[in-house]
Structure 1
């Protein structure tokens, strides 16, 4: 099996659904192949990353340890591989699904705060309850 390169995910910490996804992934990060940086925090350095705050707000970005950037839907299968979710990673790489995934992601990215206000609190509670029960 090939060794996976560490991937840093840049996410919007003000978005409850984004927080839920990051919490879920961090709970599956046993091999420490993922790092998470809230783009609203002092840890996010647009110059060092090469992505402006505006661009990072408009799309999900990931950066491999080598410095290579990826964005949008292509971030998810890479994150899911590193979180040991091979079926989800596989699903996100299916060519016939790409147009739908891209369109869905663009819609979500533009409307994530409105969508999150509806679905985010419940998703966050669910992930937190699962991570709490898993640690008991």
Structure 2
């Protein structure tokens, strides 16, 4: 089983909720969460430049492979055994629209977090809506 470093924006309530939820489902303990919004984050050892990682989710596998956006999402859900719902991210017929939708969600994640009612009711292990 590959191990993954997930470079995510902990300052985004929706992102934080999702990453902590995924970490809770990580029974094989193959994820390491790396907060790109942390004051002590060192972008020089990261998967990509900070501006790139602020645009789309980036993950780095233990073999060095970097996955971005919908490819990263599909890999994460496959790792926790929930790849059944990621088909549209991989299917040729829906891949383009899936990537477009995800890029818009990622770009407007702070506004969407507020609109969906995500708040800062999170601690280091879990979030509650």
Calculate the TM-score normalised by the size of structure 1: 0.80
Q: Secondary structure at the match of 2:112?
A: helix
Runs of 4+ in 1 over 4 A off after TM superposition: none
CA distance in 2, matches of 1:11, 1:24: 13
- Residue 96 (1) aligns with residue 90 (2): no
CA distance in 2, matches of 1:129, 1:114: 18
Q: Unpaired segments of 5 or more residues in structure 2? A: none
CA distance in 2, matches of 1:51, 1:18: 18
CA distance in 1, matches of 2:83, 2:10: 26
CA distance in 1, matches of 2:96, 2:9: 24
Q: Give the drift of 1:50.
A: 4.6
- Write out aligned runs for 1:23-42 (5 A): 23-41=20-38
What value does the CA root-mean-square deviation take over the aligned residues?
2.2
Structure that is richer in helix per residue: 1
CA distance in 1, matches of 2:9, 2:32: 14
Preserved CA contact (<8 Å) 1:7 1:35: yes
- Write out aligned runs for 1:47-66 (5 A): 47-66=44-63
CA distance in 1, matches of 2:97, 2:118: 26
- Residue 12 (1) aligns with residue 9 (2): yes
Judged with a 3 Å threshold, the aligned counterparts in structure 2 of structure 1 residues 7 and 99 are, in CA distance, closer, same or farther, namely same
Partner of 2:80: 83
Calculate the TM-score normalised by the size of structure 2: 0.84
Q: How many corresponding residue pairs?
A: 125
CA distance in 2, matches of 1:100, 1:72: 13
